A and B are shown apart, each in its own frame.
Chain A
Amino acid sequence: MLRLINYLLKQGVATAKNICPDLAEGVRGLPMLTDTPCQSGCSACVEICPTEAISVFKIDDKNNVRLDLGSCIGCGYCVDVCPTGTIQNNPTTRVAVRTREELILTTAGASAEAANKEIVLQGRTSSKIPKADSLDKAHWFSRSVAARVVSTGCSACDMELGAAGNPIFDIERFGVHIVASPRFADALIITGPVSKGMQEALVSCYGAMSSPRVVVALGTCAISGGVHKGGYAEANGVENILPVNVYIPGCPPHPWSIIHGMLLAMGKEHLAPAPKK
């Protein structure tokens, strides 16, 4: 035991001081859209995308791209095939958002917003989902949030969440505690597409929590079903079952992105400011 303590003391502090830094060069993040105009008649990105996250539409005869980060698994193929550089790799780890609409990017700016909303609504098939808890007092959780994790997927997101708790990222320093029971949880973090087998268990877990509750959809599967969307197992994401407050896209999201999402859930995103260029 003394050897272990001696070893740990010698290792010093591993925890990163720089919160949510950009990814290193050569590491794939999610794609982003740039101002460079899209090449007319090209649809290479649409054809190569494995999850139909990209569509091309025309405004005034000009090609515009719509990219749904909530369906994107970050394979990076669209970045590789884009001839103009309209789609590029986004190195940021600050990818979490509060509304589903914010995950849909377009090159057409405001004029496409209405169309986006329509797409989002199409995704929500069930009318039976409970009403979200009122969270206008988000600062309730600004000092600490106890989170219960329900995994319904392939375990990559769970492993990254585990990594977010390791000494390098140390999610606990922000006041996020992973707890064993929904009874004393404020936040419900869901990974995976919530297929038929887990729907009942998830709803009863949500029901066992006391209000106000924050629901975090962690990973692309939880947001939209990802590659599993539309199959017989109804693995179409959390939104068809529970109201979602925070969306963290990625397949799986980087531990920094998970921390960013939890900071959003606590109303503390100012702790992770955009890195200075």
Chain B
Amino acid sequence: MKLERQQISFQQLQEKLNHALAKTPNKTSDTRVGLLTSITGGEIATLMLSPTDGTAELMVTALENNKFPSLSTRHAQFHWFERALFDFFGIVPEGHPRFKHLLLHDQYPQDFFPLRKIALPDDFKNHLARRYEYLEVKGEGVYELPVGPIHAGVIEPGHFRFSCFGETIVNLEIRLGWVHRGVEKRLTEVPWQKAHFVAEAAASDTALANAFAHAIAIESILDIAVTERAEYLRTIALEIERLAVHIIDVGGIGTDIGLLGVSSAMGRLRGKALGLADLLSGSRFLRGFIFPGGVRPVSERKLSEIKAGVIALKKDLTPVIQILSDNQMATERMKDIGKLSKSLAHEFGMVGIIGKACGLECDTRQQFKQGKYPELAPQAVIESGGDILARTAVRIGEIWSSLDTIEKLVDACPHGEEKVAVPDKLPANATGLGIVEATRGELIHLIFTDEEGKICRYAIKDPSFDNWTAISIAIRDNLIADFPLCNKSMALSYSGNDL
């Protein structure tokens, strides 16, 4: 959607946040924070979302002297956003409870702030060393267990520092940023017509959702609407991507519990879901399918093959998922492990699978315009347990709802053109927002253009950026042996977080 940049003072921002995010009992406020970032380094920009009416507000607060009193002390959700603000812009959130670098590591020079556009103040003094200090838990018998950045399996890199007492995890500190590739900066450097390839590479297991959010944001800046057929095809593609990732993630739960038969069957069936993606777009990961203005052409024959594939896949998945759900050992392994309470999930602004498993109504497909949603959005799958079992149940529920939704959308997909003409130039000083419910949850692309109509700031908020803290909270007081399963049940993205 198109946004206006509202200039407000810091005090007004604080009041607004206190009101919107108030923690009154029985009332969990509907408004939430989408993201906090900066445009040039001289201001902070806060995106507030109102799910009930599907709107958003962007508040821009000019900064004095390159700093502001940390908002994290009152609203925990901001704690990583503020650290990223310093990493990329050199803006200091004063009084941040755990102020240190987030994504840029020791290899970068001391005063290196890659996204900052304006000069640093003359008296700027950077007191924060590049060297990263982990939180140390003291006490007799407490020991540290460092894991990563290279993990034992085939997975992206990240560092987990466990402080344990016996087998019990007392504290887990997560350090990410190992795969920081400078995606946000690159998105402002390439011609905007080619930017969707870079947007896809933010996290390629959700490449389609990233391309989708990018397209929505660009189209809102250009004020163009895509054809009805394109909207349907985009929505179908989004659900195929969700289906493929959920299938392999449920299979991964099988691997970590020791039900290898389930995981190998799910691995094979994921191939069938990827086959649907191949049919739709010619790419197993739906790469290059969505671009601003429309989608690649899809023939009617392919659509009917997709429908047949969905019906067959439903039949294939039923016995495997039934075996996993009925298995007493699997259920007991997942129950009450890695538990996250609803109130903490709300306070830290958890989204996607993790939020839904705690009982938060955070399925953006029902809230914000994306393709044929919220009009044809399936019912959100909400659980209340907050544990591994609940997260797996949400995934399984979404597998079924995605399959049904694809079938419905294919039936209703109208004939017509797949793309519309797109102007050559973006308008000046515009702001565009794209929100998509990616497999992991709420994905936000926020684009700012400058006086010449060039993209001057491109902010991406991957759902994992909100959710990584959930692992630290959920695994506390659990056994170290429960960590792999708990991590798998959340299946967060490293590259989407690091960008």
Contact = CB atoms under 8 A, between A and B. Distances in A.
Interface of A: 1, 3-5, 7-8, 11, 14, 24, 26-28, 50-51, 73-77, 149-156, 158-163, 165-168, 178, 180-181, 192-193, 195-201, 205, 221, 226-228, 231-233, 235, 251-252, 254
Nearest to A11: B265
Contact of B287 (A11, A75, A180, A232): A75
A85 to B, nearest CB: 18
Report, nearest first, the 7 A-B pairs whose CB atoms are least far apart: A156-B204, A166-B267, A180-B152, A231-B182, A233-B182, A154-B204, A50-B197
B155 A196 contact: no
Contacts of A193: 181
Contacts of B177: 197
B16 interface: no
Given A156-B285, A233-B180, A226 B154 contact: no
B207 A7 contact: no
Contacts of A24: 278
B182 A228 contact: yes
Interface string B124-165: 000000000000000000000000011011111100000000
Interface in B203-240: 203-205, 207
Contacts of A149: 154
Contacts of B205: 154-156, 159
Interface of B: 105, 107-108, 114, 149-150, 152-157, 177-183, 185-186, 189-190, 194, 197-198, 201-205, 207, 248, 259, 261-262, 264-265, 267-268, 270-271, 274, 278-279, 282-285, 287-288, 302, 319-320, 323, 326-327, 493-495, 498
B179 A195 contact: yes
Contacts of B498: 197
Contact of A7 (B108, B185, B190, B261): B261
Contacts of A227: 186, 190, 197-198, 201
Given A76-B288, A195-B181, A227-B197, A158 B154 contact: yes
A96 to B, nearest CB: 18
Contact of A198 (B153, B154, B157, B268): B157
A179 to B, nearest CB: 9
A197 B267 contact: no
Contact of A14 (B107, B153, B197, B268): B268
A68 B156 CA distance: 27
5 contacts: A3-B326, A50-B190, A76-B288, A166-B268, A201-B157
Contacts of B181: 153, 193, 195, 228, 231, 233, 235
A240 to B, nearest CB: 14
Contact of A155 (B105, B204, B261, B327): B204
A196 B264 contact: no
B107 A252 contact: no
B278 A151 contact: no
Contact of A152 (B157, B194, B319, B493): B157
B494 A155 contact: yes
A155 B180 contact: no
Given A8-B261, A159-B248, A226 B201 contact: yes
A168 B268 contact: yes
Contact of B156 (A151, A205, A228, A233): A151
A165 B252 CA distance: 13
Given A154-B204, A197-B105, A228 B150 contact: no
Given A159-B205, A195-B182, 16 more contacts: A3-B323, A7-B323, A14-B268, A51-B197, A75-B288, A151-B156, A163-B271, A166-B268, A167-B267, A195-B180, A196-B107, A197-B105, A231-B181, A231-B186, A231-B189, A235-B182
B183 A228 contact: yes
A168 B271 contact: yes
B179 A28 contact: no
A86 to B, nearest CB: 20
A11 to B, nearest CB: 7
A1 B285 CA distance: 33
Contacts of B493: 155
A26 B149 CA distance: 39
A207 to B, nearest CB: 13
Contacts of A252: 204, 285
Contact of A166 (B149, B154, B189, B264): B264
Nearest to B322: A3
Contacts of A5: 261
Contacts of B302: 26
Contacts of A195: 179-182
A150 B186 contact: no
A5 B265 CA distance: 11
B254 to A, nearest CB: 10
Given A197-B177, A201-B178, A235-B181, A151 B201 contact: no
A11 B248 CA distance: 18
A36 B282 CA distance: 24
B180 A197 contact: yes
Given A7-B265, A155-B493, A252-B204, A200 B107 contact: yes
A68 to B, nearest CB: 16
A24 B279 CA distance: 10
A242 B349 CA distance: 41
Contact of A254 (B282, B284, B319): B284
